[in-house]
Amino acid sequence: MAHNGNLTNDSELRHFLDYDAHRHINTDSDSELLLNIFANNLQKTGKFRINEQDIFSAAAGLYNECRGAYAVAAMLAGFGIIGFRDPHGIRPLVFGRRKSSTGAGYDYMFASESVVLDALDFTDIEDVQAGEVVIVSKTAVTRRRLVVEERITPCIFEHVYFARPDSTIDGIPVYNARLDMGVKLARKVRQALGDAMDIDVVIPVPDTSRAAALQLSHELGLPYREGFNKNRYVGRTFIMPGQEMRRKNVRRKLNAMPTEFKGLNVLLVDDSIVRGTTSQEIIQMARDVGARKVYFASAAPAIRFPNVYGIDMPSIEELVAAGRSDDEVAGAIGADMVFFQDLDDLIASCRAFNPRIAAFDTSVFDGKYVTGDVTPEYLHKLEMRRSDAAKQKQPADGEVIGLHNYK
């Protein structure tokens, strides 16, 4: 079993599995908890051979027991593969099929993004719905939506940052959504600067902000330039443990080209500002190669709250925008001015391509957690796990190479 997301009642589940189900948990991974809850529910059937109904019943039990965000793909030996998604649809999951190259019928695959299936020639790609279970056996594909929540809230940060631009998630083409973010961000910049507009050039922070920056430059009638060269062998810096490691890796990851900055007032565009470490280093790099003024625009609103649904964002004390005004954020990262996307505009940019989605998970921006079980005590416990000080106490485990489920 593999999963993307984060369970918010992991402590309760761990206690239940240990004291009631008598299953020993070896790791801190939510994947192991989900696996054991599902296996325990299957074991309750008392059958040597299970069928689709047994799997649906086991998944229904899991939905009742597990809270939080999760998109899951699993293999049942001798039976087939299954995929299911949490009742609020917070984390994405798609599946598709292609003609089998080894015989009659089709191959099936689950993934977080459609681009994975596109690259492997899968077709008929569909989203697994919130609260839905899809079973692919040797003979059939069976789908059943077991839970229908009043509020379906996919994570909007997938469209801001995580997803590849050539993916489509929940019917929303990511690239088009990011272009529209650029349109709305341009309005924000024009409104803020008015007649004092003195920007010479728009430069994206590679890679995820390129679409928004390109459209923003078009809307403002300003030249668009690639001012940073990216080293593709350095991972995502905002989840790296330790401030010093993040600072060093920003410099290793990006190199500023002096010809695009010298003597100019530049508008840097990034997808978001989390700790501010990356933004601060990038702004200083621009100044070091001769930029006269450095404005900074974020395609996302200010991140002022921790994420509890599968994104390893830092504790609230480490978020640069937490408790600060926009001007104070600009001062903290060394920018002449900062522009944040409005939350309503961000939501509108995504809903424009799928109006059936009435709401998104926007908890990192507004502190509203849709599962309803995120208490101040839970957030405090999470901060104790996620802070730089806590991570530095963990045993060294090699380079951080990507997003992970840090418990």
Which run of H or E residues covers position 365?
Answer: helix 363-366
The predicted pLDDT at position 303 comes to 97
Closest CA to 64 of 182, 138, 146: 146
Q: State the number of CA atoms in the 13 A half-sphere of 317 facing the CB.
A: 10
Burial of 38 (0-12, 13-18, 19+ CB in 10 A): buried
What averages of pLDDT result for each successive group of 10 residues across the chain (407 residues)? 95 96 93 97 92 96 97 95 97 96 91 96 97 96 94 95 95 98 98 96 95 98 95 59 61 89 98 92 96 98 95 84 97 98 98 96 96 91 72 53 42
Q: CA–CA separation, 226 vs 202, rounded Å? A: 9
Alpha helices, H only, 44-86: 52-65
* Other Cβ atoms closer than 10 A to 382: 21
Q: What Rg do the C-alpha atoms of the chain give, in angstroms?
A: 23
Q: Give me the residue label for tokens 């080894």.
A: 102
User: CA dist 322 to 274, 354, 374, Å?
Assistant: 10, 31, 18
The predicted pLDDT at position 248 comes to 63
